[in-house]
Structure 1
Amino acid sequence: MVTTRRTQQERRDRAEAALLNAAAELVVQHGVRSLTLARVGERAGYSRGIVTHHFGSKQALIERLARATQTGFVPGLEDLPPGLDRLLRLINGYLGALGDIGLMHRAFLLLWAEAATASELAPIFRERDEAFRRDLRSDVAAGIADGDVRPDAEPDGVAVAIVGQLRGVGMQLLLDPHTVDTARLSHTVTDQWRRALRAS
């Protein structure tokens, strides 16, 4: 019987994934203020020293968690060129994904909400939201250039409105999941933006 030894990088990646998962669990169960390197290590089955080795500080851990929780929320967009079709697929995919919201995305929404009052989170989530808005602005601008989006559409305003709507739906889902039918809502909201943006 042949056994394959994991490389050092594989062990490192596995430990980091376990630590991030433990951090997400703590955020979901107790909020970001409960997050300490020692508690994350204990939850993941590692020592605090391992957490410090991987992330260095609580702030660095939160930054890494914020990025990890947003990764791959709407798959399949990377291959699409910027424009109205990509924008509508993003909206539809985002709301559809909320219907099966997992631990990491739940943690992201909770961290995002806490960023309004937690000074250590605010810069991280300002940057994440700006990246999201920048992506949306690019889609609107490309749609205008292609002639698919109304020429009077304002990319900055559209981007702010879409991020607010999507994040707001996510927060409502966390607060009262039974009131949000994400499958139905994804079609309604996507159609709303299609009608609002499409060139005549």
Structure 2
Amino acid sequence: MASVAPQATQEERTEASRRRIIEAALKVLAEEGYRNMTVARIQEVAGLSRGLVGYHFGSKQGLLEALIDSIRQDYADEVVKELDAGDPAGLDAILEMIDSYLTRLGGRPNRNTVLLVLMVESISELPELRTAVQSLNAVLRRRFGGWLTRGVEDGTVRPDVDPAVEAGLLQGLIRGITLQWLVDPDGFDLVAARRGALAMVRRSLAP
């Protein structure tokens, strides 16, 4: 007799529904823009019943905040945990992070498109999202700052480097490259930019 697969628990079904809504919001926001990102459109793309966005997230703002956190957590799970587990030297961790970020950009542009859209919208159209965006940026700066401090201590980064200042510059570097490529993927050489960025950072930070 064939075995019967166990049914998903209520918690598993709830999480699956939340994930479908988040992925639908990401798709609509990246491909159709914020103005077309209505609750009705998200539910249509997700293929779920009406009312579930409000049930799971409370409001459209709640959904957008959950989307930002989901992108941050996915990247932390995929990249940062692997880096931390390997315990690389400070400069090596920074270079691996930049390399991974820009390499993954070419294969998964939607996530970066969404982040940049929400960053821009939070300046004027969606000020209620500014706290979530600020938190997202602060997390990345702290990561870079921690690796810079480690690098100063282990001798792979110049001792006169200010980790707080340099962390902001590194964040600006990868965000700027990302923006240029998303706006003009045919005219901007992402591979060359990645190689150039790695070489520039190494020259700038190494003793």
The two structures have a TM-score, normalised by structure 2, of 0.87
Query: Which residue among 75, 84, 88 is the counterpart of 1:78?
Result: 84
CA distance in structure 2 between the partners assigned to 1:78 and 1:71 by the alignment: 15
CA distance in structure 2 between the partners assigned to 1:59 and 1:67 by the alignment: 12
Q: One-letter code of the match for 1:78?
A: D
Worse-superposed segment, 155-164 or 70-79: 70-79
CA distance in structure 2 between the partners assigned to 1:148 and 1:163 by the alignment: 19
CA contact (8 A) 1:80 1:86 kept: no
Task: Name the count of aligned residue pairs.
Answer: 199
Query: Which residue among 7, 14, 17 is the counterpart of 2:16?
Result: 14
Q: 1:130-149 to 2 correspondence within 5 Å?
A: 130-149=138-157
Specify whether residues 108 and 59 from structure 1 end up closer, same or farther in structure 2 by C-alpha distance, changes over 3 A only.
same
Q: One-letter code of the match for 1:191?
A: A
Query: Which residue among 41, 44, 47 is the counterpart of 1:45?
Result: 47
CA contact (8 A) 1:69 1:107 kept: no
CA contact (8 A) 1:91 1:166 kept: yes
Specify whether residues 77 and 112 from structure 1 end up closer, same or farther in structure 2 by C-alpha distance, changes over 3 A only.
farther
* Cα distance per residue 1:124-168 (max 9 Å; x no partner): 111100111011111111111112111111111111111111111
CA apart distance, 1:42: 2.4
* Cα distance per residue 1:65-119 (max 9 Å; x no partner): 0111233446222313361111111011111111212433332232223222221
Task: Mark the runs of 5 or more structure 2 residues left unpaired by the alignment.
Answer: none
CA distance in structure 1 between the partners assigned to 2:105 and 2:83 by the alignment: 17
Q: 1:1-200 to 2 correspondence within 5 Å?
A: 1-4=2-5, 5-73=7-75, 75=79, 76-81=82-87, 83-117=90-124, 118-199=126-207
Aligned structure 1 segments of 4 or more residues deviating by more than 4 angstroms: none
CA apart distance, 1:21: 1.1
Task: Mark the runs of 5 or more structure 1 residues left unpaired by the alignment.
Answer: none
The percentage of counterpart residues that share the same residue type is 32
